[in-house]
Every structure is written in C-alpha cells, then in structure tokens.
Amino acid sequence: GAVVSQHPSWVICKSGTSVKIECRSLDFQATTMFWYRQFPKQSLMLMATSNEGSKATYEQGVEKDKFLINHASLTLSTLTVTSAHPEDSSFYICSASIHNSPLHFGNGTRLTVT
C-alpha cells in the first residue's frame, strides 16, 4: 500500500530557531499533501493544504509566515516552523492524497521547543 514517510520523528530545538519537517510519498505521486498538528489528548487539527507547484492554503488562525510550507515536487512537502517558541511544541503529522483513495498519513514528528 501507499506509504508516507515523515522525518524527523522527533526533534528538540531551542526557542527562536527554525525547524524543518519533511513529508515524502514513497511509492506514489501526491499532488496534494495536508499538514496537521495535534496537542496531547486532542484530535488532529488541520493547519494547511500543500499543493505541488503552488502556494499552500492555510486554515484560519494558522500563520503562514510562521509555518512555511514548500511542495516543490510530487513526492516531497516540507513544513518549516520558523522562530519556534515553546507553545509550538506539538505533534505534527502530514498526509498525502491519491485520487480516488483514502488519505495516507506519516508517523508524525514530535517537536519540543525548549
């Protein structure tokens, strides 16, 4: 079946630094990828929709200048958390869409900002 790979699986960074998270579709081409954030004991919250070759579409309340999304190829989307702060600590999950098929999710990235 389709596989979505996320890297890194966890990262610790200092406040004020930037962190990049990669999401790859390993055996299929994904024109659309989605980025979610999940806080402990809560559901997944959609942050943005990443479209290959065009600008991402952000959900209301998500700062596009803070969460930079790049979808330069059909197999790779990246999320960069810029100037990270402790409140950005969360579990970030990407998913990829194939036409006429269920969404496939990566295994998530645990970000801890100290």
Partner 1 sequence: LAKTTQPISMDSYEGQEVNITCSHNNIATNDYITWYQQFPSQGPRFIIQGYKTKVTNEVASLFIPADRKSSTLSLPRVSLSDTAVYYCLVRYNFGNEKLTFGTGTRLTIIP
Interface with partner 1 by CB under 8 A: which residues?
Answer: 4, 6, 31-32, 34, 36, 43-46, 49, 51, 91, 93, 95, 97, 99-108, 110
Minimum distance of partner 1 from residue 16's CB (angstroms): 26
- Which of 13/44 has CB closer to partner 1? 44
- Which of 33/81 has CB closer to partner 1? 33
Q: In whole angstroms, what is the distance from residue 10 CA to residue 45 CA?
A: 19
- Going by C-beta distance under 8 Å and a sequence separation of 6 or more, which residues neighbour residue 35? 23, 46, 47, 48, 50, 67, 69, 77, 79, 92, 93, 94
- Which of 59/63 has CB closer to partner 1? 59
